[in-house]
Amino acid sequence: MNTGEHIILSAGEKTRRRIFGLVGRSFLFAVTSVAALAVLAIIFFIARDALPFFHEKGVAAFFFSKAWYPAQSPPQFGAAAIFAGSLLVTAAAVVLVVPPGVCAALCMSDILPFNVRQVLKPVIEMLAAIPSVAYGFFALVVLAPLLQNAGGRVLSVAWWVLALPMLALGSVVAADLLSSQRLSETSYRLVRGLLTFLFLALSLVLIVQTGNRLGALQISSGVNALNAAIILGVMALPTIVSVSEDALQAAGRELREGSYALGATRAETLVKVVVPAAISGIFSAILLGVMRALGETMVVWMASGNAAQIPKPWYNLLQPVRTLTATIAGDMGEADQMTGSAHYHVLFAMGLSLLIFSFFCNLAGEWIVARQRKRLRGG
């Protein structure tokens, strides 16, 4: 048999192949579209079940009233306290986690040797992989009793560990800054020594007083906003570390070498050159962390105490709060799945709010990344 026949295709074969390819291509496109458009279906169906609530009860009461009594008759569905709870817990988690997260990312990208980094990557992946319900279990069974029985002591130890080195360093630096203005060498030393001593004494007073106040604190319930925020922070940590690390790595070697060549120390290079260059990546890392913390359900359900109230004062993390996700999970629960009741629809209204928020976070993240890319391309 002549093989040449197979290489040159007949006209019929050619059309068949073209049709076959076209069909295959449309099949791939169709399947991909289904996968991608699922998100539109989600938005549509959540909105479909959320709108009856807004129709019936109005928008203002939902967002601005603090009266959450779904079981009363007539039921009241004011979700302001629940929105506040979600915001408080998320904000606290982000405040707790961003400084150590960004520090850890800097450490991994610029300070640690390659081998250690290879060991740490799995640690981060494990932190990310632990199921949220296991974190919730930990919060409920280990952290909550710890906070309840020894919360004051734990907080005061944490305060000492963090504040003592920070304030000591701050005193030395502040004394140096103040005294290095146009002074001769001997008077510089004298003034600097005196100022350092003064600042150290002041900060020691501050540390001891605050530490004592924290140590005397009685935490009435271990399940509270602080507990949830700590665990949420830990859960958001892997996202923040790995995304910021990528951004820091992407800042490039030339930038760092240029800075070193100008005589900057490593810390100065990182803080003044690398971080500003990677700031948009770090922002999108924080946004992703916010989304993770806000959308997390099991941990807040188990650790936040589930009291639909705004803490007094509003920043008091030691009081229980209730979040959107926990309300959805808890109230839908196992009993109340009847389509049509206002309680059913209000939970979809909360879901819709979460969805819209995460949608905007996503848009913001993509916008930041796109802008950065454009700037880098533009030089």
Partner 1 sequence: MRITTRKLLDRAFTLCAYFAVALMTLFLLFVLLPIFGKGAGAYLFTGTVEHRRMLLDQFNRGDAEQFSAEWADVQQARRPIYAAVAAFEKELPGLPAARRKELKASYKEIRVGLGVLLGSEPGKPLPALTRGLYGQTRWDRAQEKVSNILYEETWDYSGGAGKRVLVPRQPLFEGTALAPIFPLLQNNLRDLLHPRFTFYPGFLIDKSIDAHFFGGIGAEVMGTLYLALGAMLIAVPLGIIAAIYFQEYATEGAVLSFLRSCVNTLAGVPSVVFGLFGLAFFINTLHVSPGKSVLAGALTLALLVLPTVIRSSEEAIAAVPRAYKEGALALGAGQWHTILTVILPAALPGILTGTVISMGRAAGETAPIIFTAAVSVGRMIQPSELLTQPTPTLSWNLYNICTEHQAVEEIRHVQYGMAATLVVIVLVLNLTAILLRARVARNLKG
Residues 43-82 that bind partner 1 (CB under 8 A): 45-46, 48-49
Q: Is 165 in the site for partner 1 (CB under 8 A)?
A: yes
Region for 73 from its dihedrals, namely left if φ exceeds 0, alpha if ψ lies in -120 to 50, beta otherwise: beta
Count of residues touching partner 1 (by CB under 8 A): 97
- In which residue are the tokens 């006209």 written? 11
Q: Is 351 in the site for partner 1 (CB under 8 A)?
A: yes
Distance CA 97, CA 274 (A): 20
Q: Is 194 in the site for partner 1 (CB under 8 A)?
A: no
Distance CA 357, CA 322 (A): 18
Cα dihedral sign for 225, 230, 233, 234? negative
Q: Is 367 in the site for partner 1 (CB under 8 A)?
A: no
Q: Is 122 in the site for partner 1 (CB under 8 A)?
A: yes
Of positions 167, 247, 328, 346, contacts partner 1 by CB under 8 A: 328
Of 33 and 209, which has the nearer Cβ to partner 1? 33
Residues in the chain: 379
Q: Is 1 in the site for partner 1 (CB under 8 A)?
A: no
Nearest alpha carbon to residue 194 among 172, 225, 221, 210:
172
Q: Are 234 and 215 in contact (CB under 8 A)?
A: no
Distance CA 249, CA 174 (A): 32
**DSSP letters of 95-135?**
HHHHHHHHHHHHIIIIIS-HHHHHHHHHHHHHHHHS-HHHH
Of positions 14, 24, 55, 59, contacts partner 1 by CB under 8 A: 24
Distance CA 251, CA 279 (A): 10
Of 67 and 358, which has the nearer Cβ to partner 1? 358
Of 269 and 319, which has the nearer Cβ to partner 1? 269
Of 58 and 122, which has the nearer Cβ to partner 1? 122
Q: Is 274 in the site for partner 1 (CB under 8 A)?
A: no
Q: By CB under 8 A, which span of 56-64, 133-141, 203-211, 248-256 interacts with partner 1?
A: 133-141
Of positions 62, 77, 199, 348, contacts partner 1 by CB under 8 A: 348
Please report, as residue ranges, which positions from 101 to 120 form the binding site for partner 1 (by CB under 8 A).
101, 103-104, 106-108, 111-112, 120
Task: Give me the least distance between CB of 313 and partner 1, in Å please.
Answer: 25
Task: Give me the least distance between CB of 107 and partner 1, in Å please.
Answer: 3
Of positions 22, 59, 126, 262, contacts partner 1 by CB under 8 A: 126
Angle between helices 11-57 and 342-378 (to 10 degrees): 130
Nearest alpha carbon to residue 322 among 138, 69, 150, 94:
69
Q: Is 178 in the site for partner 1 (CB under 8 A)?
A: no
Of positions 163, 172, 191, 200, contacts partner 1 by CB under 8 A: 172
Nearest alpha carbon to residue 67 among 300, 310, 345:
310
Q: Are 284 and 291 in contact (CB under 8 A)?
A: no
Q: Check residue 271 and report its DSSP letter.
A: I
Q: How far is CA 124 from the centre of its chain?
A: 15
Binding track over 206-245 against partner 1, x by CB under 8 A: ----------------------------x--x---x----
Of positions 132, 244, 280, 319, contacts partner 1 by CB under 8 A: 132
Binding track over 278-307 against partner 1, x by CB under 8 A: ----------x--x--xxxxx--xx-----
Q: By CB under 8 A, which span of 148-156, 205-213, 312-320, 348-356 interacts with partner 1?
A: 348-356
Residue type, 29: F
